[in-house]
Each structure stands twice: as structure tokens, then as C-alpha cells.
């Protein structure tokens, strides 16, 4: 099947790959570490570099100041046949490079290296997220070179604080609501399903964090003088938290599963068809048996089921040797991963009620809230999803998967909350890219096919 | 009732109290802090002072070197009418004085002070244990002054490392087994039951310490990527330790109560007759309701019932803020207070079996033992106990109580284990003596009545 609009663009991408790579190398050489104030000027330089590059493609582009690092916003093109206005999101800032001694070369002197698995682009930011964001820019460039114009109405929105908690993001979205609203957002900061299978991430778990302190006596007591008669807050804490799950691994807090729906049958079947290696997933970290809910696969557990996990616990004497103390207090940090329509605010109250109902006499509990975000569930009944999925499948030669993500990527939720805009998360990273670690890399194949993938998606969506 | 042997001794004690006090002051001025090497010479000086004083009473006394501080051993007297050979134990070393700023005066410049509750001897070691050990020495002195000889066959054994873990004690007992064996030991390092009621401590709880580490994955995991599917060792730890007690507060480890017997009816009735203020006992530390076994009084709980207490717990992220980690391991320190014939070695194994039987797949447990001592249950059917109890009652004007002690005083157990010798714990401390704290004191009344108490006991036992 030939496509007279697309085929010459793909050919152009192939022919111009060396130049595209050179441009990425130039961007990778700018050490735009957002969390370290020493690199503030470099972050601004990376933003300026992108503004200049986008302007050269006909975008109206600007580096927009914030109280932190600037945002890059670029508008260009005219609505195409499908009439959609697309917003593309990526981030130009990178993680710190410590420990530097574990790098094989200067993290900001990137190069293409031959490896057993093919050519890789080695350097900080190559995969997270400069290499990924440039796949979209290069697709636009090739389209412009062939057709003289961009493929459709596009906004490019690049953040410089993603690796440092995005402090300016929500204010910027609120202040520029109208300007940034589009029909759908494309976010390129995720990975393939496996080395060869492209994916669209359609389910992101939400997160609710809680910290509690159980108080008992008004001071630490000696377990000889008081042991047996005085309340031990560590014992109280273990009794309560030990009941967080029932014998089937289900969370016992009343109301916890409100808003949790079973996976649609089509998605369940598609996930069953994925060659996910459950044994290797657990085996790689020294485990063999799924720990959580009975009758759920690990893939379901991490992508589509809510959790309650104790992330930290402390109380009493924790040093060397022994001290027969009955402490005055004991502490725990607990997080819940949320799915579907679970309401984090309601759930926080339900959890607190559940703990407080179990407190014995003389014990009190003190709470500290640690943030919350609802789950992200993409509206895959929007035809744009199936269009993009088919386009990805044509590029990679295998059908693209709709997948979940156990972690929480706030940007998709922010677009929904502040701009009422759905998002499609499409990325080309591989599990071994070592993002956030020394010797980060991005496979040249992922860069190349990533550019081609966006060209195919833009040809269909715009 | 007049006692022609005893009455002149009591009169002598009363008459010579100022001189007895002067001698105690001289001993208190020696800063014999055993745990601080800077005071090594002072410890030796305190031992020498005691040797000289005991020799002046006709004892064959010597300061006996150890690898630490010397032991004072003195033998004297001839068996009296009852034929018993008595060994008296005390310790001449004292606690450090930090924080010095909280003392009202130099801790080693003692003085007698008037207080709302009468005269007190203020200074480090006044109650723990120099003032107490001198009650016995002064009773011997008065007896010798009146009768020209000691009241019976006596060995005095004074340790200089009690406040620093007694490292030389067991080797010394083993090496001098025959020399130190007597019919019964008298230990003066405990307190009255309350301000006016004398006591013999007949039950000491034993102690078993355990530390465990639960291991799961081979490294810390991200709760987004693995939460739900991977074992969380903190969750495992809380589930297991949360089951340590049943809903009635009883420890659930199989075999745990083997060797635990109900209190003899006579002791139970006697304890019920004690004016123990349960409300104040708990109220003073901010509590109101006994936490442990149902249908037991706090006094029973702390004196005669075994316990299982979590003294420390830690795992995962415990710093400021939040980290969504599934840690590779979680830890706890647990101690058991033992009573009756509970076997610490057997119990350690039973506890370990109980934990290991509850471990889920992929989890392992690592153990660290933290010492063990069986409970001390004195053989109160030995007539010496009732004899001493009646003698104490005559001195204080109220019947003396047989009491328990929630803590663990190892010396009584060591005498039993290494010398096959029972011990009677009789002391005259009060709860507000502030031993181990700034402004330690010993009531002049306790010192005076303590000396008279020993005179009465010696008159009956020797």
C-alpha cells in the first residue's frame, strides 16, 4: 500500500538520519540538569536551542520565563483533513549524572557506540527525554522538507523542570489555559512494551501517600518496669497494619475498591496475548511467586489493580545491640496506588477512619498527608487511539499494545485537570536504557523508528 | 519483747549514726565510675577503702584484681546458733554523672539536706549502691562493738563493675566457686515496696532478646513498577508481629506458657493486700487502661506474667518526605520477659519456628540472638525468708511484702547458676531516689532503718 503523502516523508527521514543524529548530539551536549542551580544557564541555553530549531521549521516559538526554568512553546501549521489540533509534550531537562565515576565517558560528550544489540546513542538525556522529544521534531522537519508545510495544526510544549518536580508546571498551565488547549496531547516520555513491540500507555495508576504516628505513653518506658501493662505503640502499629490485606491479598479498608472496575474484556485478552515474561519479571529481582491478590497475574497487579504498600516503618530502638524500651511512639509511611475512579480524597479519609477505629485505649494517631493524584485512564474510545495504534503497528511490524503503567506520570492528569485535554502516551524507550543511571543510552533504531512512527501518526491524525 | 543480744546493738546503731554517716560520706567522695577509664584509680581507691574498713571489723579482707576493676572479698566470724554461712553482695561502683549541669551540687561532694520529706543524703552512689552496702557493714560494726565479735559466719563480696555490665563477674564466680559458696546470699540493691513498707524481692523476670530481618527481593524496588506483585517485607513483618498476641493479650507462640505457673494463693492474697495504686502507676506515664492480658492486674502483669514486646522496628524509607520504595528487608528487635520455669533456650527456638512457619514464599528470615536469662524465683519455703520477713516487719512497723520485680537482676541468677546458692534481695531504696539520674539521694531514714534491719535479720539468721 503506497501513501503518496507519507512515503516520501519516510524516505526523507531515512536519508537525513545522520543530520538528525547530529542535531540530537548538539542538544545532548548542553548539560541541562534542572535540579542543580549550577546548570541554570545551561537549561536556558537548551530552551533557546530548541526555540531556534523549531523556528527554523516555521513554528512561532518562544522561551517563556517561569520562576524556575523556561518553558518552550511553539505553534505552527494549519488544520489538516482530520481537523485535529495536536499538542506535543516532552522535556528538555535531564537527571544529574552522579555517580560520575560509573560513567564510561563524559555524560555530556555523547557518541554513537556499537554494541551487541546494535548502535546506541550514549549520553545523559539520550532517552530521557531529549532523544524522544527530537523524534517528534524530526518528523515535523521531514514533513516540512517534503511538503513545504507542517502536517497539521501543532503546538509543541517542552518543559525544563520534569526531573525536579515540575514546580512551575501547574501555574503555567493555569495561566496559559487557552493557548495550550488542543484536541489531544501526545506525550513522548514512556517506553515500548518490549524491545520490538510498540505501545500506547492508556492506564496510569494514581498515588496517595500517608504517614502516621501512633502515640501511647507520654515518654519512653522501661520494658521491665512496664512491659505487659503499658501499651506498646509498635505492637499497636503492627496489629493494625498487619490487617491491611486479607488472606486473599485484598485490601481490607471499607470502601477501598469503590471505583475499581474490572479490565474491559478486549484489553484483558490483548494483555494475555502480550508475551510478558512473568517468571523473568519476578526472577530478575530474586522472587518467584506473585505476592498480591489471588487469581491476578503480575501484569494485572501492577497495571490495573490498586495497592496498599508500607514504604517505611520505624519506632523504638534501632541501633546496634539491644535496649529494652517501650517507646512512646511508632511511625509508618504508607502509599496506595490507585486505579479507575478511586477518589484519593475519599480514600484518605476511609483509611484514617479504619485506623482510628482500631486504636486501643490510651493510643492516639497523628497524621501527615503526602500528596495524592487520581489514576489516569485514557479515553481509548476516541478514534485517535486506534488510528495511532494501527500506525505504530505498520512501522514496527507487530501490532501495538495498549498497556498500563504501574507508576504515576502526573503530566497526563494535569492536562486532563487543567486543560480538559486527553493524552496519548507514546514512547520508544527500552527497559535497558538506564535512564536516571550512569551510561544512559537510546537505541539508534528507537530514534529512527520513533521519527518514522510520528510521521505515520501525524499523517493519520492531523 | 526484749532481746538481750539485739537490743544493745540497736541502741549502739542509734547512738553512732553520725559516725556511720561520716564513713558513708567518705566513701561517696570517691568518684568510682566504673564505665569511664578515667576513673580507674578511683575505683581501686574505693575498693581499698572498703578493704581497710572491713579489716577494722575483724574481717580477712582483700582487694582482688580482675581484668577490670577489683572485687572486694572479706571473710569473718564464726557460725552462730542457726549455723548459717551468709554471703552479702553489693557494689561500690557508681553511674556516670552526666548531665552534670542538672545536678544541684558536685555529685561527689555529698551532704545531708533537709527536704519536705525529711533528711536525705545527696550524692552519686548514695542509694545505688554505696549507701545500701554500708547498711550491712554498719550493722556488723555495731554488733562487733557490742559483742566483741561478728554475729555469725559472714562473707562480704563487693563488685566494682555492676554499672558497666559486670564483665569480670562470671569468671570470678567460676574461679572462686568454693570460696564464695555460702548457705544463702543477701543482696542489697533493691527497694522498699513503697515509702513505708519493707520488701523482699522473690520473683525476678528473666529476659530473652531476639532480632530478626525479613528478606524479600534482592534489592529495593519501586512501588510503581512492582507494587502489588512483589513481596513487601515490611508488610510480612507486620502481619507476623501483629499476631504475637491474641485478642485477650496472651502471647500466641505455641509452648510459650510452658513453665508459667499461677501465683501461689498466699502470694496473690498478699499482693492484693498491698496498697499498690494501679491508677497512679499508669496515670503517671499518661495511660489509663492496662494493655496486656485480660483479667490480670498491672502488678501481676509486671511481676509475675511473661511478656512479648517489640522494642524496635525499622525498614524502608524513614526520612523526611516520601519515597515509594518496596524495601528488600525489614527488621525488628523483640524481647520476652520470662517467669517461673520458662526455658529461654527452648523459647528462642519456639519463637523462631513460629515466625518461620508464617513466612510467605520468597521471604527468608535472618536471626540475631541478644542474650537470655531465666526468671529468678526464690525458694521462699526456705525458713530464712520468713525469718527475714518478720524481722523487717518489726523494724518498719508494717509487715514486709514478698514482691516481684519486672526487671531482670542477673546477680541472683548467677549465684544460683554458678554457686548453686539461693539469694534474698532486701533493699531500702525509694522510688524517688533518682538512681542513674542527677541529684541521686538516699533517705537518712532508709540508711538508719536499713542498718537496724540488718541487725535484726543477722540476729535471727546467723
What pLDDT digit, counting tens, does each position of A232-265 carry? 999 999 999 999 999 999 999 999 999 999 988 8
Contact B219 A244 (CB under 8 A): no
Query: Looking at CA atoms only, how far is residue A1 from chain B in angstroms?
Result: 40
Q: Quickly count: other Cβ atoms within 10 Å of residue A119's Cβ.
A: 16
d(CA B6, CA A161): 90
Q: Is A87 helix (H, G, I), strand (E, B) or coil?
A: strand
Q: A369 φ, ψ to 5°?
A: -85, 140
- The torsion angles phi and psi of A139, rounded to 5 degrees, stand at -65, -40
Q: Which A residues in the span 349-408 are in contact with B, Cβ-Cβ below 8 Å?
A: 360-362, 370-371, 405-408
Q: Could you read off the pLDDT tens digit of each residue along chain B, which spans 462 residues?
A: 678 999 999 999 999 999 999 999 999 999 999 999 999 999 999 999 999 999 999 999 999 999 999 999 999 999 988 889 999 999 999 999 988 888 999 999 999 999 999 999 999 999 999 999 999 999 999 999 999 999 999 999 999 999 888 999 999 999 999 999 999 999 999 999 999 999 999 999 989 999 999 999 998 888 888 988 999 999 999 999 999 999 999 999 999 999 999 988 888 888 988 888 888 889 989 999 999 999 898 899 999 999 999 999 999 999 888 888 899 999 999 999 999 999 999 999 999 999 999 999 999 999 999 988 889 888 888 999 999 999 999 999 999 999 998 877 889 989 998 999 999 999 999 988 988 888 999 999 999 999 999 999 999 999
A64: buried, middle or exposed (CB in 10 Å: 19+, 13-18, 0-12)? middle
Beta strands in B67-205 (DSSP E): 71-76, 85-91, 111-115, 118-122, 153-159, 184-187, 199-204
Q: Tell me which residue of B183, B162, B137, B188 sits closest to B66, measured CA to CA.
A: B162
Q: Give contacts of A277 with chain B, Cβ < 8 Å.
A: none
- Whether A339 and chain B come into contact, CB under 8 Å, resolves to no
Mutation test of the interface with chain A: which of B227, B245, B305, choosing the one with the most A Cβ atoms within 10 A? B227
Distances (CA, A) of B13 to B21, B142, B390, B453: 11, 6, 20, 11
Q: Which helix (H) or strand (E) holds A146?
A: helix A130-147
Contacts of B223 in chain A (CB under 8 A): 307, 309, 311, 335, 337
For an interface test with A, give the residue of B213, B220, B221, B313 to mutate (most A CBs within 10 A).
Answer: B313
> What is residue B94's DSSP assignment?
B
What pLDDT sits at residue B390?
97
User: How many Cβ pairs closer than 8 A exist between chain A and B?
Assistant: 278
Give CA–CA dist A80/A267, Å, rounded: 31
pLDDT tens for A256-300 read 999 999 988 888 888 988 888 888 889 989 999 999 999 898 899
- What pLDDT does B273 receive? 85
A224 touches chain B (CB under 8 A): yes
Distance CA B430, CA A85 (A): 84
For residue B97, the 8-state DSSP code is: -
Q: A107 with A12: CB under 8 angstroms?
A: no
The span from the CA of B186 to the CA of B89, in Å, is 6
Radius of gyration of chain A (CA): 25
Residue numbers in B near A337 (CB within 8 A): 223-224, 227-228
Average pLDDT, chain A: 94
Residue B85's pLDDT is what?
A: 97
- Chain B environment of A234 (Cβ under 8 Å): 310-313, 332
Whether chain A has a CB inside 8 Å of the CB on B321: the answer is: yes
Distance from CA of B434 to the nearest CA of A (A): 15
Residues 6 or more apart whose Cβ sits within 8 Å of residue B422 = B184, B185, B378, B379, B382, B415, B416
Calculate how close chain B gets to A357, using CA atoms only, in Å.
15
Nearest-Cα distance to chain A for B215, in Å, is 10
CA angle A32, A37, A39 (to 5 degrees): 30
Separation of alpha carbons A392 and A197, rounded Å: 9
A214 at the B interface (CB within 8 A)?
no
Helix (H) or strand (E) segment spanning residue A373:
strand A364-373
For A6-53, the pLDDT digits (tens) are: 999 999 999 999 999 999 999 999 999 999 999 999 999 999 999 999
Tell me the C-alpha distance between B120 and B105, whole Å: 14
B223, B309, B316 member nearest A337 (Cβ):
B223
CATH number for the domain running over B206-260+306-373: 3.30.70.360
Would you call A407 and B239 a contact, using CB atoms and an 8 Å cutoff?
no
Give the helix ranges, DSSP H, for B378-443. Answer: 383-396, 410-419
Write down the pLDDT at residue B1.
Answer: 61
DSSP class of residue A450 equals: H
Q: Which of B224, B234, B333 sits opposite A313 (nearest CB)?
A: B234
ipTM value, please give it.
Answer: 0.84
Beta carbons within 10 angstroms of residue A222's beta carbon: 14
Q: Is B235 on the interface with A (CB under 8 A)?
A: yes
Residue A367, Cβ neighbours under 10 Å: how many?
Answer: 13
Q: Which of B244, B285, B370 sits opposite A221 (nearest CB)?
A: B285
Residues A179 and A424: beta-carbon distance below 8 Å: no
Chain B: residue whose CA lies nearest to A228: B292
Residue among B224, B234, B293 minimizing CB distance to A406? B224
- For residues B148 and B50, is the Cβ–Cβ distance under 8 A? no
Cα A197 to the chain's mean position, in Å? 19
Rounded distance between C-alpha atoms, residue B439 and residue B444, angstroms: 15
Cα-based torsion angle of the residue sequence B166, B171, B175, B177 in order, rounded to the nearest 10 degrees: 60
Q: Length of chain A in residues, anyone? A: 462
CA-nearest residue to A334 within chain B is B324
d(CA B80, CA B406): 35
Q: Do B291 and A238 touch (CB under 8 A)?
A: no
d(CA B64, CA B390): 36
What single string gives the DSSP state of each residue in B278-289? Answer: HHHHHHTTT--S
For residue A255 the three cell numbers come to 470502601
Q: From the list B217, B239, B325, which residue is nearest A287 (CB)?
A: B217
Query: What span, in angstroms and rounded, lies between the C-alpha atoms of B205 and B305?
Result: 8
CB–CB of B322 and A219 under 8 A? no
Which residue among B230, B242, B362 places its CB closest to the CB of A242? B242
CB A291 within 8 A of CB B229: yes
Q: Does B165 touch chain A (CB under 8 A)?
A: no
Q: Could you check whether the bond before residue B174 is cis, i.e. omega within 30 degrees of 0? A: no
Task: Test A288 with B362 for CB contact under 8 angstroms.
Answer: yes
Task: Measure B314 CA to nearest chain A CA, in Å.
Answer: 4
Cα B126 to Cα B433: distance, rounded to the nearest angstrom: 9
* Closest alpha carbon to A199 in A426, A15, A460, A429: A426
> Are B86 and B186 a contacting pair, CB within 8 Å?
yes
Question: Hey, how many other C-beta atoms are within 10 angstroms of the C-beta on A258?
Answer: 13
B335 Cβ under 8 Å from any chain A Cβ: yes
Q: Is B217 on the interface with A (CB under 8 A)?
A: yes
* Dihedral pair phi/psi, residue B441, rounded to 5°: -145, 165
The average pLDDT across A207-219 equals 95
Residue B292, all three cell numbers = 496486656
**Which fold does the domain A7-204+375-461 belong to in CATH?**
Aminopeptidase (3.40.630)
Rounded (10°) angle between helices A233-241 and B233-241:
110
SS3 B429: strand
Choose among A315, A362, A240, A289: nearest CA to B241: A240
CB atoms under 10 Å from CB of B360, counted, come to 15
Higher pLDDT, A374 or A231: A231
Chain A residues 238-277 with CB within 8 Å of chain B = 238-245
Q: Which of B222, B228, B295, B299 to mutate to test the interface with A (most CBs of A within 10 A)?
A: B228
Whether residue B219 and residue A286 make contact (CB cut-off 8 A), yes or no, is: yes
Mutate to test the interface with A, among B288, B312, B335, B339 (most CBs of A within 10 A): B312
Q: For residues B62 and B136, is the Cβ–Cβ distance under 8 A? A: no
What pTM did the predictor assign?
Answer: 0.84
Q: Contact B242/A244, CB-based, under 8 Å?
A: no
Q: Tell me which DSSP letter residue B251 carries.
A: B
Q: Which helix (H) or strand (E) holds B62?
A: strand B60-64
- pLDDT band of residue A1 (cuts 50, 70, 90) is low
A327 pLDDT tier (thresholds 50, 70, 90): very high
In chain B, where the domains are located: 7-204+375-461, 206-260+306-373
Amino acid at each position: 500500500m503506497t501513501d503518496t503523502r507519507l512515503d516520501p516523508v519516510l524516505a526523507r527521514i531515512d536519508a537525513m538520519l545522520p543530520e538528525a543524529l547530529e542535531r540530537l548530539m548538539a542538544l545532548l551536549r548542553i548539560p541541562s540538569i534542572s535540579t542543580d542551580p549550577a546548570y541554570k544557564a545551561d537549561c536556558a541555553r537548551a530552551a533557546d536551542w530548541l526555540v531556534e530549531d523549531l523556528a527554523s521549521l516555521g513554528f512561532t516559538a518562544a522561551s517563556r520565563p517561569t520562576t524556575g526554568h523556561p518553558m518552550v512553546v511553539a505553534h505552527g501549521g494549519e488544520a489538516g483533513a482530520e481537523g485535529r489540533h495536536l499538542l506535543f509534550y516532552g522535556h528538555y531537562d535531564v537527571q544529574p549524572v552522579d555517580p560520575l565515576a560509573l560513567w564510561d565517558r563524559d555524560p555530556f560528550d555523547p557518541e554513537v557506540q556499537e554494541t551487541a544489540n546494535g548502535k546506541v546513542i550514549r549520553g545523559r538525556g539520550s532517552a530521557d527525554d531529549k532523544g524522544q522529544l527530537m523524534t517528534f521534531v524530526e518528523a515535523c522537519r521531514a514533513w516540512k522538507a517534503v511538503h513545504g508545510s507542517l502536517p497539521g495544526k501543532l503546538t509543541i510544549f517542552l518543559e525544563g523542570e520534569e526531573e525536579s518536580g515540575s514546580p512551575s508546571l501547574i501555574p503555567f498551565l493555569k495561566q496559559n489555559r487557552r493557548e495550550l488547549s488542543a484536541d489531544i496531547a501526545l506525550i513522548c516520555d514512556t517506553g515500548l512494551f518490549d524491545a520490538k513491540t510498540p505501545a500506547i500507555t492508556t492506564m496510569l495508576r494514581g498515588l496517595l501517600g500517608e504517614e502516621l504516628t501512633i502515640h501511647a505513653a507520654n515518654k519512653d518506658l522501661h520494658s521491665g518496669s512496664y512491659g505487659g501493662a503499658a501499651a506498646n505503640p509498635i505492637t499497636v502499629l503492627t496489629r493494625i497494619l498487619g490487617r491491611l490485606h486479607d488472606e486473599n491479598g485484598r485490601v481490607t479498608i471499607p470502601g477501598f475498591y469503590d471505583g475499581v472496575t474490572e479490565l474491559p474484556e478486549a484489553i484483558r485478552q490483548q494483555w494475555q496475548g502480550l508475551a510478558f515474561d512473568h517468571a523473568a519479571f519476578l526472577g530478575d529481582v530474586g522472587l518467584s511467586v506473585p505476592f498480591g491478590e489471588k487469581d491476578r497475574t503480575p501484569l494485572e497487579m501492577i497495571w490495573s489493580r490498586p495497592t496498599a504498600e508500607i514504604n517505611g516503618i520505624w519506632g523504638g530502638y534501632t541501633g546496634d545491640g539491644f535496649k529494652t524500651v517501650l517507646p512512646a511512639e511508632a511511625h509508618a509511611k504508607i502509599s496506595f496506588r490507585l486505579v479507575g475512579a478511586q477518589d484519593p480524597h475519599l480514600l484518605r479519609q476511609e483509611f484514617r477512619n479504619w485506623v482510628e477505629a482500631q486504636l486501643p485505649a490510651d493510643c492516639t494517631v497523628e497524621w501527615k498527608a503526602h500528596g495524592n493524584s487520581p489514576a489516569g485512564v485514557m479515553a481509548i474510545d476516541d478514534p485517535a487511539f486506534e488510528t495511532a495504534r494501527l500506525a505504530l503497528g505498520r512501522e514496527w511490524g507487530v501490532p501495538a499494545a495498549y498497556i498500563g503503567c504501574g507508576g504515576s506520570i502526573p503530566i497526563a492528569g494535569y492536562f486532563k485537570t487543567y486543560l480538559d485535554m486527553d493524552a496519548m502516551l507514546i514512547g520508544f524507550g527500552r527497559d535497558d536504557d538506564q535512564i536516571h543511571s550512569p551510561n544512559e543510552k537510546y537505541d539508534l533504531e528507537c530514534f529512527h523508528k520513533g521519527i518514522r512512527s510520528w510521521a505515520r501518526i501525524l499523517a493519520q491524525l492531523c
